[in-house]
Amino acid sequence: MPQAHFIDDNGPTASMHLLDESATLSIGERLAKALPDRLTIHLIGDLGAGKTTLCRGLLRGLGYLGKVKSPTYTLVEPYKDSRIVVYHFDFYRFTDANEFLEAGLDEYFEGSGIRLVEWPERAQPFLPEADLEIRLQIDSGGGRTLTLWPLSPEGRTCLQNLDSSAAAPP
């Protein structure tokens, strides 16, 4: 199980090394247990960094047992079989941020639910602010570095809940 290292530069953040896909799935499952009923998460990282794998682990942690695929072509995949409604977005194919509004995707950001957003920078300035930003970076020596930044009170609570779950005995 990856261990979090908490830093106090600009508020509490968590950073951890993930050795492989299994570790990425595992932190996603742990994150699922820390989620409130409403949260927007921006996922930042290069192609192949593990954003969709993290989403797959999160959905498994919420009880979703179906196939989880990247919404690169559909733009959004809703998951309503989990304990919380989750909307997984991927804006990689956007060539203009206005596509976010033209597709009516802003409506998904109203009400309860978890919004997982890959490539959020491609929908700015129209995309609502994140509660939690997650960065995945491929390490030259292998594995990934995952860093979480809470950007709202809900994001800070989520990070605190994640930290608590890491300290709790199995």
Going by pLDDT thresholds of 50, 70 and 90, the confidence category of residue 1 is very low
Residues 21, 53: Cα–Cα separation, whole Å: 7
**Structural domain includes residue 159:** no
CATH code, domain carrying 28: 3.40.50.300
**Structural domain includes residue 9:** no
Percent above pLDDT 70 for the chain: 87
Q: What is the pLDDT of residues 57-97, one digit of tens each?
A: 999 999 888 888 777 778 999 888 666 899 999 999 999 99
Q: How far is CA 18 from CA 35, 43, 166, in A?
A: 20, 16, 15
Per-residue pLDDT at 28 exceeds 90? yes
**Structural domain includes residue 109:** yes
Q: What is the pLDDT of residues 125-155, one digit of tens each?
A: 999 999 999 999 998 888 899 999 999 999 9
CA angle, 24 as apex, 43 and 69 as ends, to 5°? 65
**Structural domain includes residue 164:** no
The structure tokens listed for 36 are 């409130």
**Structural domain includes residue 118:** yes
**Structural domain includes residue 113:** yes
**Structural domain includes residue 6:** no
- Confidence at residue 69, expressed as pLDDT on a 0 to 100 scale: 78
Burial of 168 (0-12, 13-18, 19+ CB in 10 A): exposed
Going by pLDDT thresholds of 50, 70 and 90, the confidence category of residue 166 is low
The residues near 45 (Cβ < 8 Å, ≥ 6 apart) are 51, 135, 136, 137, 138
Q: Which of 2-6, 58-62, 97-101 has the lowest mean pLDDT?
A: 2-6
The structure tokens listed for 157 are 């609570």
Q: 112, 117, 150: which is closest to 11 by C-alpha?
A: 150
**Structural domain includes residue 169:** no
Range of the domain at 48: 18-152
Based on its alpha-carbon atoms, the radius of gyration of the chain, rounded to whole angstroms, reads: 15
Number of domains in the chain: 1
* pTM summary value: 0.86
